[in-house]
Amino acid sequence: MRNPALVLASLLIGGSLPGLLHGQAPDSSKDGSVLTPGDSVWIIVWRKPDFTGEFAVAADGSISHPVYRTVMVGGVPLAAAEANLRSLLEKFDREPQFVMMPLLRVAVEGEVNRPSMYALGPKTTISEAVGRAGGPTQFGRLDRVRLLRSGAKGGHTQMLLNLTHLESGAAQMPIRSGDQILVERKRSIFSQVILPTVTVIGALASVGIFIHQYR
């Protein structure tokens, strides 16, 4: 489990904790992400270690923790999730000082060095997610990265992305909960063209020899 003190220190150093001293979580009202069951939230409450930690989002959208079980965070905008958490904490402290960091569940697969399921912040880009998985292998194609994403009304959308231009375009697209990112494999001329051709020629030659022997 992560050390809350180290997380707090990293946030302060990185300037990502501007609202903590004012009793507010970072503003995510402009972020279109939503948490879904299987995601998690990292909550830091100033001077309340029992309220601090990483907690899973339950099937009903609540936080899997006795204190937070009435807080709905799943299926709502992140700003609303933070407001729901603030309402609960105000029952214990008139001006609660806290941070809630959403962690979205994303699968990075295919030709990457560490294919796995990752818990990433909502501002993580597709290219950064591939980087978290160790980047592409020597056979990986960053110009052919498939993204499978759940639609707002059910179903899935599949996109073919080019991540070779890291400063713009698809590489800067933010992740969403449940994303599946697949880095395709480079085509090998030898294994996919030359070798099958040689195999076919060899098979035809064998058939020719067989026919010749039994004439």
Q: What would the two tokens of residue 21 be?
A: 């001293």
**For residue 32, what pLDDT is reported?**
58
User: CB under 8 Å to 17, separation ≥6 — which residues?
Assistant: 8, 11, 26, 99
pLDDT tens, the chain, 215 aa long: 555 555 554 444 344 444 444 444 444 444 458 999 999 999 999 989 999 999 999 999 999 999 999 999 999 999 999 999 999 999 999 899 999 999 999 999 999 999 999 999 999 999 999 999 999 999 999 999 999 998 766 688 999 999 998 777 889 999 999 999 999 999 765 445 555 555 555 555 554 554 555 55
Looking at the domain that runs over 4-102, which CATH code has it been given? 3.30.1950.10
Residue with tokens 């020719």: 208
User: CB under 8 Å to 34, separation ≥6 — which residues?
Assistant: 74, 75, 76, 77, 78, 177
The CA distance from 142 to 124, in Å, is 17
Q: What would the two tokens of residue 207 be?
A: 């058939």
The CA distance from 129 to 126, in Å, is 5
Q: What would the two tokens of residue 168 be?
A: 């713009």
**For residue 210, what pLDDT is reported?**
47
The CA distance from 202 to 126, in Å, is 45
- Are 85 and 160 spatial neighbours (Cβ–Cβ below 8 Å)? no
**For residue 169, what pLDDT is reported?**
83
Q: Where in the chain is the domain with CATH 3.30.1950.10?
A: 4-102
**For residue 60, what pLDDT is reported?**
95
The CA distance from 192 to 63, in Å, is 49
| The model's pTM | 0.72
Q: Where in the chain is the domain with CATH 3.10.560.10?
A: 104-185
Looking at the structure, give the CATH architecture of the domain made up of residues 104-185: Roll (3.10)
Nearest alpha-carbon partner for 112 in 166, 183, 52, 59: 183
- Are 105 and 117 spatial neighbours (Cβ–Cβ below 8 Å)? yes
- DSSP type of residue 26: P
The CA distance from 186 to 166, in Å, is 19
